Amino acid sequence: MEITNFITESFIRNINPAHNVYNFTDPVKAFGEVTTIDPDVILLDLNMPELDGWGFLDRMQESQMAYNVYILSSSTSELDKKRSSTYGNVVGFLVKPLEEDVLSNILETNAR
């Protein structure tokens, strides 16, 4: 988890060091801070302790948060892909390893 986040963060810094990256390994803590941070985009891992990616999406739905979410998964499962599309704010399903130009594109299109 920590390593995955390190990789993603390194990629983002490499694309543009000016981006503010908030890196969480604790999804509960992340959910607590999400409104304060008010992010342009959330990269969400499905496989997390305590609160998994689906639980995180459910909580966002309950709190009517509309932040754009990209799912980051190491699974190529079509089932997960289908399920993620049922959430209105999920705009993409990315399979690890993340490619830098894909990430660059995402950052560009979601920048406010």
Partner 1 sequence: MEENQIYRVTYEAFSKFSNSLSRCRSFEEVANVLRVNLKFLFNYHCVRISFQWEEHFAHFTISMQDAQVEVLGEGNYMPHEKQLLSQKRPLCWNNQQVAMLPLAYQVPTEEQTELWGWVFENQERCLLVSLLAGQSKPFTKRDVTFVRLMAESLESKLLELFLFQELDKRNEEISYINAQQQEVIKQRTSEITKKNERLLEISIASAHQMREPLSRVLGLVQIMGQAQSMETIQEQVLPRLSKSATDLDTVLREVIDNATGELIELGAD
Residues that bind partner 1 (CB under 8 A): 3-4, 6-8, 10-11, 14, 47, 74-77, 96-98, 100
Burial class (CB in 10 A: 0-12, 13-18, 19+), 4: middle
Closest approach of partner 1 to the CB of residue 44, in Å: 15
Q: Rounded CA gap, 51 and 46, in Å? A: 9
> 93-110 burial, b if ≥16 CB within 10 A, otherwise e?
bbbeebeeeebeebbeeb
Cβ proximity to partner 1: between 17 and 36 the closer is: 17
Cβ proximity to partner 1: between 7 and 111 the closer is: 7
Among candidates 70, 78, 65, which has minimal Cα distance to 98? 70
Closest approach of partner 1 to the CB of residue 82, in Å: 16
Using DSSP, state whether 13 is helix, strand or coil.
helix
Closest approach of partner 1 to the CB of residue 21, in Å: 14
Cβ proximity to partner 1: between 75 and 109 the closer is: 75
Cβ proximity to partner 1: between 27 and 60 the closer is: 27
